[in-house]
């Protein structure tokens, strides 16, 4: 396993890419309304990334992925392909943005609601958000990846939801996906020891029902096997000498 430790200059480039990714999510929120298609959301984000930011949408053509963002609606866990689906009142949707600027990646996602969400959808999104932050708060030199996963798993299961096992966070930098893998479950004080200069994503996928998922025939879209709702949040984080720095905070500092 090769984990890259970013230099001060590389950390600055990661900050710049992270800010751009967060800006896309800040921008697209106003468009998440009943009647818009996920394909239209993709087009708006693509034009903003390429024409306004002068950056590159990392998902486009990545291992064959056909769009510039991922839109995962309701029971879609991750990697939903934007298309003709129209959003309707009550839908929850995760929008996942990754941009490349000056060869470095910024990766982040948020949950959005179309109109007023149901009680379970809102609570699920809240627990996923809380668990992401509990995981992030474990990041510091000398801590271990298992500390991150354990904090997330404990909070999710305490709230009677489940953590997806097949998909995880990851190192990030010049490459979209680098070592290490960041599992969202585990045991404290196990796994790789963390070091200052690492950059990685924390992105728990949390299901209202069971943890089991399945991959659809398109080769990308992952859904809950029991058709229960799923929620996810994601930040790119730099491990500093004293703790962590979140590189993809939005305008509301979330």
**Res 253 pLDDT > 90:** no
Please give the share of the chain, as a percent, with pLDDT higher than 90.
Answer: 98
Rg (CA), the chain: 17
**Res 26 pLDDT > 80:** yes
At residue 241, the pLDDT reads: 97
The predicted model gives 33-48 an average pLDDT of: 98
Question: Is pTM, for the whole model, over 0.75?
Answer: yes
CA nearest neighbour of 146 among 176, 171, 180: 180
Q: What is the CATH number of domain 8-246?
A: 3.90.230.10
Residue pair 226/214 in contact (Cβ under 8 Å)? The answer is no
At residue 2, the pLDDT reads: 83
Per-domain residue ranges of the chain: 8-246
Residue owning tokens 């994601």: 234
Residue-averaged pLDDT of the chain: 97
* Collapsed DSSP state (helix, strand, coil) of residue 78: strand
Q: Which run of H or E residues covers position 200?
A: strand 199-202
Using 50, 70 and 90 to split pLDDT, how confident is the model at 172?
very high
Residue owning tokens 């010049």: 174
Using 50, 70 and 90 to split pLDDT, how confident is the model at 1?
low
The predicted model gives 134-149 an average pLDDT of: 98
**Res 155 pLDDT > 80:** yes
């Amino acid at each position: 396993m090769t984990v890259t430790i970013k230099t001060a200059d590389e950390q600055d480039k990661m900050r710049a890419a992270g800010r751009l990714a967060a800006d896309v999510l800040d921008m697209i929120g106003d468009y998440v309304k009943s009647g818009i298609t996920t394909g239209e959301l993709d087009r708006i984000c693509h034009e903003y990334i390429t024409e306004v930011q002068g950056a590159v949408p990392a998902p486009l053509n990545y291992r064959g992925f056909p769009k510039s963002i991922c839109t995962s609606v309701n029971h879609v866990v991750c990697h939903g392909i934007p298309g003709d689906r129209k959003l309707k009142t009550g839908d929850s949707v995760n929008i996942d943005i990754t941009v490349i600027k000056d060869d470095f990646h910024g990766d982040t996602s948020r949950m959005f609601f179309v109109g007023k969400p149901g009680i379970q959808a809102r609570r699920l999104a809240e627990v996923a958000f809380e668990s992401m932050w509990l995981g992030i708060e474990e990041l510091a030199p000398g801590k271990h990846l298992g500390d991150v996963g354990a904090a997330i798993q404990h909070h999710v299961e305490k709230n009677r939801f489940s953590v997806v096992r097949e998909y995880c966070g990851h190192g990030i930098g010049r490459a979209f996906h680098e070592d290490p893998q960041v599992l969202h479950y585990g045991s404290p004080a196990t796994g790789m020891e963390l070091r200052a200069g690492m950059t990685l994503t924390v992105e728990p996928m949390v299901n209202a029902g069971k943890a089991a998922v399945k991959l659809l025939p398109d080769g990308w879209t992952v859904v809950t096997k029991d058709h229960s709702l799923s929620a996810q949040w994601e930040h790119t984080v730099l491990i500093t000498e004293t703790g962590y720095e979140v590189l993809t905070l939005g305008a509301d500092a979330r």
